[in-house]
Amino acid sequence: MRGLFISVEGVEGSGKSTHCRRLGQWLGARGLEVVLTSEPDGTPLGSAIRGLFEKDGGPPTPLTQTFLFMAARQQHIAQVIRPALGRGAVVVSDRYADATLAYQGFGRLLDLDRLRWLNDWATDSLRSDVTLIFDLPEELGLTRARSRNSAAPVDEGRFELEDLRFFRRVREGYLSLAASEPDRYVVIDASGTPEEVFERTLDVLRKRGVIS
């Protein structure tokens, strides 16, 4: 029996990690085996790869980032996702292949067809059954993310224009992926309280027949 693979995406500050945990708890409370995981750090190797992004010596180039995320993804598939799906579990992954399309493709402007090809190679063409995209205007997402990471009050005027443009491209990238394959992607309005957003998530999953 093949389980169910749900991947969860969104820009910084969209609350996706909180909603992953909630969804995992909700499904677990209904007696399902749930494997809650994430990229790039869903395996020890992936965690080590995430650590490489923080090394001194300058940020990795977009293409270097791509290869690092792909390496983490292949290991994640082999060690965590495929075995769990093989047991019939529900896998909820906080980011997966669409993150590379949105961030390195739409955000950093690398060629989308090549990224798709690399994703297919790294994952043996394993796609998620459903991809939830928690959507929020980039200004709001960055405000939320920064107020979480710093005690200082957040002044939207201080955002670097470059950051805003990058996150706008990422957001628009996710929305355009969703428009191109509406059966697999579910866009969820991530504004409002966590409770409201979670209710919206359950509603849309029920309407799609993913949960009952």
Note the residues at the interface with ligand TMP (CB under 6 A): 12, 39-40, 69, 94-95, 99-100, 103-104
Nearer CB in complex with ligand TMP: 25/64: 64
Please choose, from the candidates 67, 39, 43, 65, the residue with its C-alpha nearest in 3D space to the C-alpha of residue 53: 65
Q: Supply the minimum distance, in Å, between the C-beta of residue 178 and ligand TMP.
A: 17
Q: Which two tokens stand for residue 155?
A: 């002044």
Q: Supply the minimum distance, in Å, between the C-beta of residue 172 and ligand TMP.
A: 15
Q: Supply the minimum distance, in Å, between the C-beta of residue 33 and ligand TMP.
A: 23
Nearer CB in complex with ligand TMP: 91/99: 99
DSSP H helices, the chain, are 16-28, 44-52, 62-76, 82-86, 97-100, 112-123, 138-149, 161-180, 194-207
* Sequence-ordered list of residues with C-beta below 8 angstroms from that of 193, at least 6 positions apart, any chain: none
Whole-number CA gyration radius for the chain: 17
Q: Supply the minimum distance, in Å, between the C-beta of residue 106 and ligand TMP.
A: 11
Identity at 110, one-letter amino acid code: L
What CA–CA distance (Å, rounded) separates 132 from 94? 10
Nearer CB in complex with ligand TMP: 3/40: 40
Q: Supply the minimum distance, in Å, between the C-beta of residue 19 and ligand TMP.
A: 12
Nearer CB in complex with ligand TMP: 99/187: 99
What CA–CA distance (Å, rounded) separates 48 from 60? 15
Q: Supply the minimum distance, in Å, between the C-beta of residue 53 and ligand TMP.
A: 8
Nearer CB in complex with ligand TMP: 103/134: 103
Q: Which residue is nearest to ligand TMP (CB)?
A: 103
Nearer CB in complex with ligand TMP: 99/142: 99
What CA–CA distance (Å, rounded) separates 96 from 170? 14
Q: Kindly list the distances between the CA atom of residue 75 and the CA atoms of 25, 45, 48, 120, 149, in Å, as whole numbers in the listed order.
A: 25, 7, 12, 14, 29
